[in-house]
Structure 1
Amino acid sequence: MKLDAIDLRILEAVSRDGRMTKLRLAEIAGLSPTPCWLRLRKLEQAGIIAGYHARIEPRKIAPFTSVIMEVSLANHRQADFERFERAVTARPEVAACWSVGGGVDYFLRVVARDIDAYQRLVDELLAAEIGIERYFTYIVTRTVKDEPGFPVALLG
């Protein structure tokens, strides 16, 4: 699907605020409401807009620890990657997992009640024998930037 500047403005706007009114979105896009709504629906149906989410402020609920975990696998066959990915996908503590090129295989963003809960997760992953050869832990001490949207304008 070829996107034009109006589509990109719509995507940028809803990525930052998925609850804005259709009228406000039309103003931002520079369209009247009906054509803007039709474009939005087209973007949703094409799967470009995959969903809408609330941004939760977890520290208002309870304290927690964020950890970045660097993982290298012992073997690099397709089955090894699939086994590891199935295991971490099933763990709710693993908020994100990225397969990366370079000196390591994966980076994970882990959310735990505290460092002890994180260590229990690591112990369970190691005991599950999912191919972890080594891992490194980086405790997030302060969030500097964590934007909810995607910089769609950079793609245009």
Structure 2
Amino acid sequence: MSAIPLDDRDLQILSILSREGRISKVDLARRVNLSATPCWERLRRLEKAGFIRGYRADVALAKVAPHVVVFVVAELESHRAESFQAFERAVARHDEIVACWAIGGGFDYLMQVVTRDIDSYQRLVDQLLASELGLKRYFTYIVTKDVKAGPPPLADLFAAGVQEN
């Protein structure tokens, strides 16, 4: 699963940072019951190993600007590797596509799109269709209300698989 073994403290560090990315190193060390230097060394090891991909703010978009969040499921005409690669390169060029997952079960991709309004979303779709990426069909789901968003339940995910150092 991972290149380096994780112990309970590593998991605690990851769990805390997934909820409180701006926590000070001193507070983080105190919360995982370590002195600052060993905690900092663990944090750097986790970052270097790729367990921590970055730090960012959870921006309240509704307070910043009008916007619409849209989920799109997409199916490609061809299921050849080149078709998937071309589609994924095209998706990477559009900042308004904030997330994209390859999925199984009838469709090929699930995308999350954030734009100013439905018109700007439709322009994005028109660009994708005009790019001749082999987009066979797509379905649009407009988010009407945020119900829940949060970090993954790391403690639950790793409860059975945590290895002791």
Structure 1 length normalisation: TM-score? 0.95
What are the Cα deviations for residues 91-146 of structure 1, in whole angstroms up to 9, with x where unaligned? 11101000001110000001111111111111111111111000000000011111
| 1:1-156 mapped onto 2 (5 Å cutoff) | 1-147=4-150, 149-153=151-155, 154-156=157-159
Q: Runs ≥4 in structure 1, deviation > 4 angstroms? A: none
- 2:60 maps to a residue whose letter is E
- RMSD of aligned alpha carbons: 1.0
Task: Give the aligned residue type for 1:67.
Answer: V
Unmatched segments (≥5 aa) in structure 2: 160-165
Q: Secondary structure at the match of 1:7?
A: helix
Partner AA of 1:155 in structure 2: F
Give the distance between the partners of 1:112 and 1:52, measured in 2 at CA. 23
Identity fraction in percent:
53
How many equivalent pairs are there? 155
Cα displacement string for residues 22-76 of structure 1 (whole angstroms, at most 9, x for unaligned residues)? 1211122121222111111111122211211122111111110000001000110
Q: What amino acid is the match of 2:45?
A: K
